């Protein structure tokens, strides 16, 4: 046995074997504390703008008013369960129009796919509610406890009156934000000013208080404590996104060809002075320190990375200080990384078959939904032929069929409809239970209601034996002239 081999064996014998028994081996890795450092730059400004706009819309939109006329709610965005209505400014969605909700969900998925095809997890980095509220909670944390170094020192220090005061204030503000979040959510389901007054005077329903409590708890836990673990372990999108991306999607990327070999600023300067290869990365770890999920982007694209771009800001700031070009960490595609390795010029392919397909589907589905929304009716009519008997021969030889009609008024005010029939030669129409028997009977239908009437269609014209003629009923709004029709058959013996 050679000397190196003997030495290696001696080391192996001296080192105790790890105990990998099922009782002692950890099933999950222990969570490491992450202390994101504040950073300034383009992407941080974009995130602040998105945060302010999105949270401003969420918290204050319930108080925006929209005049819909008398007897109609004037809240711009309202989910009115008792009235079975969803109001969004001038749009009004009815329960039977759930396909609009399905269409919106399909559009949301396609938009998410398009965003992923263009710029990876841009939704996660800027628009996801978990990201937005976590950013807000971390801003409060920095305001009270300081930046990264101060928070690390405070957490490692023993408990003092000052530390307890800071922790208490931070968690109190977190709970206040979480409570406001839950309170804003329930305002979308009732008139906001009225519900605020009822909540303040403890006159609101138990459902409202329970909903606020649940949302307060979840917001406080997810945004204040779990943070990056929600993105890493709970959210399914990182797994789905990985299957949908391609080599042309832009992702936050470390340019290996430019950054390696990395080293300290002095070492890099010495290597350059000696004419040896040296990268621009000085191993300062600023990209890791600012990352909200603790990712080292220099190790490549990872599941934990939410593509927020804060590491780009941090790296650009360092490059400015050491007088090197910006963009060591940037949004780049896998195809361009390979092109750079081959010495070829990078090419951006935002418009390609995948993005064209997604955009076409979004436009097609959106256009179809818009067309159906514009052309939908606010009245309806349904006709059901009597089954027994299907026809009656009167004493004067006339033939009569009976029908049940259901008139639908989707407006929030009374409407009067004139009823008529066509398709049967010499037919006359009688509405059972009305004084007049003409085809112009005025039928009143209440707001957001249906009315069922029984009608008789009679003809003295001779019809062929066993004839089945198509018959059409029409209701016409006497005020606006808008009409709805329903078809059935007139049956002869």
DSSP string, 285-301: -HHHHT-TT---GGG-S
For residues 148 and 78, state if they share a domain.
yes
Same domain membership, residue 260 and residue 230: no
DSSP state of 344: P
Is position 358 within any domain?
no
Q: Are residues 48 and 162 in the same domain?
A: yes
What does the alpha-carbon distance between residue 434 and residue 79 come to, in Å, rounded to a whole number?
38
Of 297, 321, 345, the one marking the end of a domain is 345
Domain membership flag for residue 163: yes
- Calpha distance 280→265 (Å, rounded): 9
**Torsion (CA) 244, 248, 251, 254 in degrees, nearest 10:** 130
Kind plus residue range of the DSSP H or E element containing 195: helix 192-200
Residue 355: inside a domain: no
**Helix, coil or strand: residue 253:** strand
Short-list 322, 330, 323, 292, CA closest to 38:
292
Residue 275, exposed/middle/buried by CB under 10 A (0-12, 13-18, 19+)? exposed
Q: Are residues 259 and 174 in the same domain?
A: no
Q: What are 375's two structure tokens? A: 């052309």
Say yes or no: 91 and 213 in one domain. yes
Provide the whole-model pTM: 0.80
Contact (Cβ atoms closer than 8 angstroms) between residue 305 and residue 316: no
The pair of three-digit structure tokens given for residue 428, joined into one six-digit string: 């006359």
Whole domain around residue 298: which residue ranges? Answer: 246-345
Of 179, 213, 235, which closes a domain? 235
Kindly state whether residues 90 and 173 are assigned to the same domain.
yes
Residue 2 covered by a domain: no
Burial of 209 (C-beta count, 10 Å sphere; 0-12/13-18/19+): middle
Q: Report in angstroms the alpha-carbon separations of 245 from 36, 119, 230, 241, 274.
A: 28, 9, 21, 6, 42
**Among 235, 265, 291, which residue terminates a domain?**
235
Q: Give the Cα separation of 337 and 279 in Å (integer).
A: 16
Flag whether 267 is in a domain: yes
pLDDT tens for the chain, 493 residues long, are 444 444 334 333 444 444 444 456 566 666 778 999 999 999 999 999 999 999 999 999 999 999 887 778 889 999 988 888 889 998 888 877 888 888 999 999 999 999 999 998 899 999 999 999 999 999 999 999 999 999 999 999 999 999 999 999 999 999 999 999 999 999 999 999 999 999 999 999 999 999 999 999 999 999 999 998 998 888 888 888 888 888 899 999 999 888 888 888 888 888 888 878 888 899 899 999 999 999 999 998 888 899 999 999 999 999 999 989 999 999 999 888 888 888 888 888 889 999 999 999 999 999 999 998 888 888 889 999 988 888 888 888 888 899 999 999 888 788 899 998 888 888 888 888 765 444 456 888 988 888 999 999 988 888 777 778 899 999 999 888 888 999 998 988 7
Selection from 460, 478, 320 nearest residue 407 by Cα: 478
13 is a domain residue: no
Give the tens place of pLDDT for each residue, 279-317: 889 989 999 999 999 999 999 888 889 999 999 999 999
What angle (nearest 5°) sits at the alpha carbon of residue 196, between those of residues 194 and 200? 120
Q: Which positions ≥6 away from 71 have C-beta within 8 Å?
A: 412, 413, 447
Question: CB of 282 within 8 A of CB of 318?
Answer: yes
Our count of domains for the chain comes to: 3
CATH number for position 433? 2.60.40.10
86 and 203 share one domain: yes
Statement to judge: residues 219 and 262 lie in one domain: no
CA–CA gap between residue 138 and residue 131 (Å, rounded): 10
């Amino acid at each position: 046995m050679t000397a190196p081999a003997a030495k290696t064996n001696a080391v192996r014998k001296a080192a105790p074997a790890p105990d990998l028994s099922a009782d002692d081996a950890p099933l999950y890795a222990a969570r490491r504390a992450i202390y994101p450092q504040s950073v300034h730059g383009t992407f941080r400004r974009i995130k602040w703008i998105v945060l302010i706009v999105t949270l401003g819309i969420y918290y204050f939109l319930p108080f925006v008013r929209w005049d819909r006329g008398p007897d109609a709610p004037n809240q711009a965005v309202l989910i009115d369960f008792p009235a079975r209505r969803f109001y969004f400014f001038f749009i009004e969605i009815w329960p039977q129009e759930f396909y609009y909700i399905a269409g919106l969900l399909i559009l949301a998925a396609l938009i998410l796919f398009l965003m992923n095809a263009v710029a990876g997890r841009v939704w996660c980095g800027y628009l996801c509610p978990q990201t937005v509220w976590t950013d807000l909670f971390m801003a409060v944390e920095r305001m009270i406890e300081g930046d990264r170094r101060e928070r690390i020192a405070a957490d490692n220090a023993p408990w003092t009156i000052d530390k307890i005061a800071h922790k208490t204030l931070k968690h109190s503000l977190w709970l206040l934000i979480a409570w406001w979040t839950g309170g804003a959510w329930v305002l979308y389901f009732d008139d906001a000013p009225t519900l605020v007054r009822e909540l303040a005077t403890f006159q609101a329903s138990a459902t409202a208080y329970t909903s606020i409590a649940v949302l307060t708890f979840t917001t406080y836990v997810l945004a204040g404590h779990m943070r990056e673990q929600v993105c890493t372990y709970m959210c399914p999108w990182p797994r789905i996104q990985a299957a949908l991306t391609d080599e042309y999607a832009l992702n936050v990327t470390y340019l290996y060809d430019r950054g390696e070999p990395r080293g300290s600023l002095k070492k890099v300067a010495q290597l350059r002075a000696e004419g040896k290869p040296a990268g621009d990365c000085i191993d300062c770890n600023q990209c890791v320190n600012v990352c909200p999920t603790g990712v080292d982007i220099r190790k490549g694209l990872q599941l934990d990375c939410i593509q927020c771009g804060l590491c780009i800001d941090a790296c650009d700031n360092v490059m400015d200080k050491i007088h090197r070009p910006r963009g060591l960490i940037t949004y780049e595609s896998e195809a361009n990384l390979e092109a750079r390795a081959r010495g070829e010029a990078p090419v951006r392919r935002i418009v390609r078959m995948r993005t064209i397909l997604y955009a076409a589907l979004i436009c097609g589905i959106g256009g179809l939904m818009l067309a159906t929304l514009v052309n939908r009716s606010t009245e309806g009519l349904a006709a059901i032929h009597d089954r027994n008997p299907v026809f009656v021969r009167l004493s004067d030889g006339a033939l009569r069929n009976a029908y049940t009609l259901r008139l639908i008024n989707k407006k929030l005010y009374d409407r009067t409809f004139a009823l008529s029939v066509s398709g049967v030669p010499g037919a006359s129409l009688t509405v059972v239970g009305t004084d007049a028997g003409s085809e112009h009977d005025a039928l009143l239908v209440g707001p957001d209601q249906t009315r069922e009437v029984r009608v008789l269609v009679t003809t003295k014209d001779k019809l062929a034996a066993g004839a089945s003629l198509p018959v059409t009923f029409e209701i016409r709004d006497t005020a606006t002239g808008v009409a709805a029709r329903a078809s059935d058959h007139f049956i002869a013996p």
